[in-house]
């Protein structure tokens, strides 16, 4: 975190000068009858506030309020209940931008949540209240850039988090409940697979399924997308619970039917498999995969890697081979017989590689 945003190290400030943050996504108040809050009050009464709250200086103080609470609402209200005159606090400078404030709040959340993907999503949901009700399809790209820019998160990671956070509130709550019931589950990765491997590619492959061309098309599109998300989420949860889905690969295996090059009867069959997967609760991911293998075996053929991927792999291998010494082979085995065997395998692999390179050069 950029500590230049703070006025100094931790300092004591009067409780009476702190104003609760009205935009706190948790709400402006704390349930003071909650047993966990009572335990916090007892702890603070005995040992004090061990983790300082975070406040920001108000550019235009009102009455006696010089600071606005950024993080630590429960600790603040516990101090109020105990009639503490002062609390330890980190103080953000006046004029800290909204984006900088969000970045600070995100890092504060993640320090506590230990960077687990779903915990990151929940922290972002709290810091960016705009994400509460989800996003439209056409907002996802800009929001991924915004999150990456304002939190310092890698672009790819931000894109993945937004792929889940774009879901409507009631579905995110369903995901969170499942995570609470099954803490060891990787539900986040399954939801990401639904969005990235089914929802997004199906929008491009079968636009007619989402009623793009009807009156009120945008609202119809968003509504249908959320129906697809909910039905696939319910299917996924059901299959996780009964053990027929054990990894996200069961979901990602459906991706081949969304190949852009499909035409005519082949595309019609692919669209029917997708439609059945969405419409029928008893039609499993494995059922869909089996039907693809029987009716559309051609789409399961291994796809060639993208050119940039091949170039990157060749560059990496070149750097490895340039710095490789025969002594490394001897160091990798104690017995001379094993060393001779490794040298033979090494030479054979190099010859095979040289032959493949020669053939590819001739084709190019």
Number of alpha carbons in the 13 Å side-chain half-sphere of residue 6: 15
In a domain, 260, yes or no: yes
**What are the pLDDT digits (tens) for 178-208?**
998 988 889 999 999 999 999 999 999 999 9
List helix spans (H) across the chain.
Answer: 35-47, 73-81, 98-113, 117-127, 140-151, 155-165, 169-181, 187-194, 200-205, 217-242, 249-252, 264-279, 285-295, 307-322, 326-331, 336-363
The more confidently predicted of residues 51 and 278 is 278
Q: Report how far residue 288's alpha carbon sits from residue 294's, in angstroms, rounded to the nearest whole number.
A: 10
Number of folded domains that form the chain: 3
Contact 80, 15 (CB under 8 A): yes
8 and 75 fall within a common domain: yes
207 and 286 fall within a common domain: yes
Reduced 3-state DSSP string for 43-94:
HHHHHCCCCCEEEEEEEEEECCEEEEEEECHHHHHHHHHCCCCEEEEEEECC
Last residue of a domain, one of 263, 287, 303: 303
Residue 53, domain extent: 3-96
12 and 92 fall within a common domain: yes
In a domain, 101, yes or no: no
What DSSP state is assigned to residue 306? Answer: P
In a domain, 171, yes or no: no
287 and 320 fall within a common domain: no
299 and 320 fall within a common domain: no
265 and 313 fall within a common domain: no
Using only C-alpha atoms, the chain has a radius of gyration, in whole angstroms, of: 28
Q: Percent of the chain beyond pLDDT 90?
A: 44
Last residue of a domain, one of 96, 111, 127: 96
**What are the pLDDT digits (tens) for 311-331?**
878 888 888 888 888 888 777
Contact 203, 262 (CB under 8 A): no
CATH number, domain with residue 39: 3.90.1530.10
Give the pLDDT band (50/70/90) at residue 298: confident
240 and 268 fall within a common domain: yes
297 and 317 fall within a common domain: no
Q: Report how far residue 75's alpha carbon sits from residue 52's, in angstroms, rounded to the nearest whole number.
A: 9
In a domain, 36, yes or no: yes
207 and 246 fall within a common domain: yes
Taking the model in full, what pTM does it have? 0.62
Contact 162, 143 (CB under 8 A): yes
Q: Report how far residue 132's alpha carbon sits from residue 155's, in angstroms, rounded to the nearest whole number.
A: 21
Cα dihedral across residues 37, 38, 39, 42: positive or negative: positive
CA 242 and chain centroid, separation: 25
285 and 319 fall within a common domain: no
Last residue of a domain, one of 64, 96, 128: 96
**What are the pLDDT digits (tens) for 215-271?**
555 688 899 999 999 999 999 999 999 999 999 999 999 999 998 888 999 999 999
């Amino acid at each position: 975190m950029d500590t230049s945003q703070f006025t100094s190290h931790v300092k004591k400030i009067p409780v009476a000068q702190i104003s609760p943050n009205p935009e706190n996504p948790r709400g402006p108040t704390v349930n003071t009858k909650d047993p966990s809050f009572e335990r916090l009050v007892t702890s603070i009464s005995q040992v004090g506030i061990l983790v300082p709250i975070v406040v920001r200086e108000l550019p235009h103080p009102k009455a006696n309020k010089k600071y606005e609470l950024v993080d630590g609402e429960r600790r603040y209200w516990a101090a109020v209940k105990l009639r503490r005159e002062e609390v330890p606090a980190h103080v953000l400078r006046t004029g800290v931008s909204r984006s900088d404030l969000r970045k600070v709040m995100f890092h504060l959340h993640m320090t506590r949540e230990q960077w687990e993907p779903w915990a990151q999503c929940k922290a972002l949901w709290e810091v960016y209240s705009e994400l509460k009700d989800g996003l439209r399809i056409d907002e996802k790209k800009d929001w991924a850039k915004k999150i990456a820019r304002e939190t310092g998160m890698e672009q790819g990671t931000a894109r993945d988090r937004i792929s889940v956070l774009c879901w409507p509130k009631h579905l995110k709550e369903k995901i969170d409940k499942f995570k609470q019931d099954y803490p060891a589950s990787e539900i986040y990765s399954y939801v990401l697979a639904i969005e990235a491997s089914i929802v997004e590619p199906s929008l491009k492959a079968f636009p007619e399924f989402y009623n793009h061309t009807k009156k009120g098309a945008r609202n119809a599109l968003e509504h249908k997308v959320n129906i697809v998300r909910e039905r696939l989420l319910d299917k996924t949860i059901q299959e996780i619970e009964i053990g027929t889905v054990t990894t996200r690969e069961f979901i990602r295996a459906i991706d081949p039917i969304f190949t852009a090059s499909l035409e005519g009867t082949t595309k019609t069959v692919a669209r029917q498999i997708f439609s059945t997967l969405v419409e029928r609760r008893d039609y499993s991911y494995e059922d869909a995969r089996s039907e693809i293998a029987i009716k559309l075996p051609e789409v399961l053929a291994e796809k060639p890697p993208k050119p940039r991927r091949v170039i990157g792999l060749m560059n990496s291998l070149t750097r490895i081979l340039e710095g490789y010494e025969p002594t490394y082979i001897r160091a990798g085995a104690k017995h001379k017989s094993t060393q001779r065997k490794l040298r033979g395998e090494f030479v054979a692999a190099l010859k095979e590689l040289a032959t493949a390179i020669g053939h590819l050069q001739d084709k190019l």
